[in-house]
Structure 1
Amino acid sequence: MKLIRPILLAGAALAAGLLSSCQTTSSSGSGSLAAYHAYDRPAKKPSNPSAVKVKVSLSTQMVYVMENGSPLLVMPVSVGAPGSRTPSGTFTIFKKEHKHRANTHGYAYSGNQVKKTMLSSKPGGWSFKGTPMPYWCEFKANYGFHTGWVKHTPCTHGCIRMHENLAPKFYQLVKVGTQVNIASSQPEDSTLGKIKLAPDAGPLPDYGGNMYVGDGYFTQHKAAQFE
């Protein structure tokens, strides 16, 4: 989703779709949620961090973290929905921030009450914290990789949303200066991209508001382990 820093999207279209873009609110069986929490993918540390490159396939919603043609991490992601597509091209990661928060949308809270809201619609007298976007890696102004619910169809406002257990690995593998190529497809789609996906997050229940107001969502993941 393309709203992350002080100069961000606003307006009716954003307000209508934004608050559901990083969270889901419908319910499902606990087994599916447990399977989502358990999902993980193997990762390897690079021999030369400067040789790491990231390739994103929009058509398959796959990310390939590569070192000289060898995969370090292959993971499914969510990319921009029609009307808010993830930009194509070659970019460079220029900012990393573990505990990144949005500035225009998030959660208003007062005592034990927590409400999703745009900052502009915050109830008078309530405090506000932006939606957490853990393991933020920005590659174009207001566009980045970050933790979020991963669905099987494009659903973001342009950002690239990573599974909670894979975002910490990605964050460690890339650095400021890492090249990112985003295209409709990548050659790796036919060779590396045939992997098991996490359950679709669309039907899964969302975390409670206190998870997002506090620091809980920044630590909602397995410890990152590498082969």
Structure 2
Amino acid sequence: MLQILLFLSSCLHFNISLKAISFDDFLDFFEKDNKNNYNKGVISVKVSLNNQALYVLEGNKVILASHVCTGKRDSTPTGYFKVLDKQMHKRSSSYGFWVKEGKYIPSDVSGCPGPGWRYVGYPMPYAVEFSPGYYIHQGYVWPVPRSHGCIRLEWKEAERFYKLVDRGTPISIKKTQPEDKKVGKRLKQPKSYKKPDPSPFLLVSERAFNPY
């Protein structure tokens, strides 16, 4: 109620007309805007590999739908899983950069060039682990499978997904999902993959965990 009063007060201050908005619309607005209003106990996740899509459901209602980028050569595991862990500032333990005195060499963790080099894993913001070593996290969403097995989401979707799920949230990963037929058809392919890759300097810094 306090939120509504503050909103009404701000509308009056800026002389905004409220005639076209019913009180029920106000309540609906605040309910939808409150990300903590969902019943976490009935939330589930579905991933469609063929449609490269992720759906978050509250019961039978889709509350988040997004294109994703899954693993190339069928490297994303399929089946039924549960959220094992969440890390907002996760770095890869397998792929990243070897760093020394302002030099950066992309490599896996086993490719140390020599003494004095340190390994910095590739950033995986808003990482949600669903199987040991496999995560749903922020990353460029290509129109084809391209990751090493993880599932990538755009920044905004990754942040919202991270907030919607908890440890134990069920996740189904299959070739197709029932939601593909209706919800999946309306999804628009992100264009972020067309952007130049961020610089290694940015990726090894803490700035990598902010939208770039």
TM-score calculated relative to the size of structure 1: 0.73
Matched, 1:107 2:93: no
Matches within 5 A, 1:38-117: 45=35, 46-82=37-73, 84-117=74-107
Local SS of the residue matching 1:120: coil
Decide whether the 8 Å contact of 1:79 with 1:159 is kept in 2: yes
Percent identity over paired residues: 34
Matches within 5 A, 1:173-192: 173-192=164-183
Local SS of the residue matching 1:134: strand
Question: Between Structure 1 and Structure 2, whose CA radius of gyration is higher?
Answer: 2
Matched, 1:121 2:114: no
Q: Which residue of 2 aligns with 1:141?
A: 132
Identify the match of residue 195 of structure 1 among 184, 187, 194.
187
Q: CA deviation at 1:122?
A: 2.3
Decide whether the 8 Å contact of 1:43 with 1:169 is kept in 2: no
Runs of 4+ in 1 over 6 A off after TM superposition: none
One-letter code of the match for 2:55? Answer: Y
* Larger helix fraction of residues: 2
Structure 1 unaligned residues grouped into runs of 5+: 1-41, 222-227
The root-mean-square deviation of aligned C-alpha atoms, in Å, is 1.8
- Specify whether residues 98 and 135 from structure 1 end up closer, same or farther in structure 2 by C-alpha distance, changes over 3 A only: same
Residues 163-192 of structure 1, C-alpha deviations (whole Å, 9 max, x = no match)? 122111110010101000111111111111
TM-score calculated relative to the size of structure 2: 0.78
Local SS of the residue matching 2:41: helix
CA–CA distance in 1 between the matches of 2:139 and 2:130?
Answer: 17
Count matched residues: 178
Q: Which residue of 2 aligns with 1:167?
A: 158
Decide whether the 8 Å contact of 1:64 with 1:74 is kept in 2: yes
